[in-house]
Amino acid sequence: MARIGVLALQGDFREHIHTLRALGAVAHPVRLPRELDGVDGLIIPGGESTVMGKLMVEYGLDQPVRDLIAVGTPTWGTCAGLILLSRATDNALAGQPLLAALDVRTRRNAFGPQRASFEADLPVPALGDPPFHAVFIRGPAVLSVGADVEVLARLENLRHTSESNESTGQGTIVAVRQGHLLGTAFHPEVTGDPRFHEYFLGMVRGARAEQQM
């Protein structure tokens, strides 16, 4: 049975834990480094990326999380979590810590402020049909990706104004995977559709199987 830690310093960690448990995983909140011991996977939820990043440093979690990622532990960042995983972000606030693990460049609040939050049906081939109903709440966008990053989903109607977005003409990149790292610009945990969580648990099972070989 997969054991998943969910970073619980700030943000919507409870919804992730509820969804994971409904799928049969063992899920628990992570607030201290010792609570990372023995996890098979880690989720960094949505929230406020600057606050979450600074709290990670204050609680001594930043380096232990980097160490987990370095040894191949599947890690998923949603919304703010995607920003924290990114190697770079265009408009970070002063003092924004980043884990700098996922080879993407992101932009905070790419679709506007809280009142500009919206929902969209996204084709996600990795999840099959039907399209995934995605909820964007002050979401980031992925402006560019490294050679090893797989684009899982794009938002067809561009809603942000960055002129440097690599995906212009093809749709804004909003979900990516790079090996054992997963990033989504939206909030799968609030939709009632567990397919992204199932996809992540599949990544966890795959990583465990590789370790046993």
The set of catalytic residues is: 79, 187, 189
Q: Which residue has the tokens 């797989």?
A: 150
- Separation of alpha carbons 132 and 130, rounded Å: 6
According to DSSP, the residues that pair with 178 across neighbouring strands are 181
Rg from Cα positions in the chain: 16
- Separation of alpha carbons 116 and 48, rounded Å: 16
- Separation of alpha carbons 112 and 23, rounded Å: 33
- Separation of alpha carbons 149 and 1, rounded Å: 28
The upper half-sphere exposure of residue 129, i.e. CA atoms within 13 Å in the direction of its Cβ, equals 0
Contact call for residues 159 and 139 (beta carbons, < 8 A): no
Q: Tokens representing 213?
A: 């070989």
